[in-house]
Amino acid sequence: MKNLRKHIASITILLVFFCTVHAEDFFAQIEPISERIAQIIVGKTWQPDCPIPLKDLRYITIAHWGYDDTIHRGEIIVHKDVAEEIVEIFHELFAHKFAIEKMQLIDNYFQDNLSNDEIDGQSLAENNSSAFFFRYIGKTTIVSEHGLGTALDINPRINPFVRGKEVYPADAQEFCDRSRIDVPGMITRDSICYQAFIKRDWKWGGNWKNVQDYQHFCKQEIIPENFNA
């Protein structure tokens, strides 16, 4: 708690940054990590050894179209340097009614008996789109782009991670067929989602060679050598 109070104190000296964009029914709000949000993420997606301090993260609530063809309020956490760009991207996705099934903080999936991989797996299985999560790239000591707040996974069940015959989440094999046009929120090079990120110089995991991470967009691409991307 002592460390938490120290980080909260550093946040309170910040001027509150507020950004709301209105176009038809779109809304978005960018805020520093408040005491309420810190209580949710500290010890879960944010750990004291995270290279990104709480003061450099931003909590965003944002409108998105759901699979039920109605507007939903999503929430994500990203690095402050990409927050405004994320709002621009999601504004564009909203204007084209790109469907996102679910967008909740991954902290909601934490349980004491689960590893980070299992927590991430539960979020993926529910097709939950998420961003910040301090963790390492599998079998390495390299901090994931998610741990830097510069990556997002969008509709991860229908845009799975694929390495040869390995598919993650495991029940997403049917979505390895990337030519399907009947799946809302699928990301391909022709989709508005791909275009909105790429034109702002984000990288897409679907373009990697030996591994395809179709859900993954990142601003600062960090790929282990053995990915051979």
pLDDT by residue, tens only, the chain of 229 residues: 555 555 544 443 333 444 444 456 899 999 999 999 999 999 999 999 999 999 999 999 999 999 999 999 999 999 999 999 999 999 999 999 999 999 999 999 998 888 888 898 899 999 999 999 998 887 778 899 999 999 999 999 999 999 999 999 999 999 999 999 999 999 999 999 999 999 999 999 999 988 999 999 999 777 666 665 5
Domain coverage including residue 68: 2-227
Structure tokens at 135: 């963790």
DSSP 37: H
pTM of the prediction? 0.87
Structural domains of the chain, count: 1
CA atoms within 13 A on the CB side of 153: 30
Rounded Cα distance, 167 and 119, in Å: 17
Q: Torsions phi, psi of 26, nearest 5?
A: -75, 145
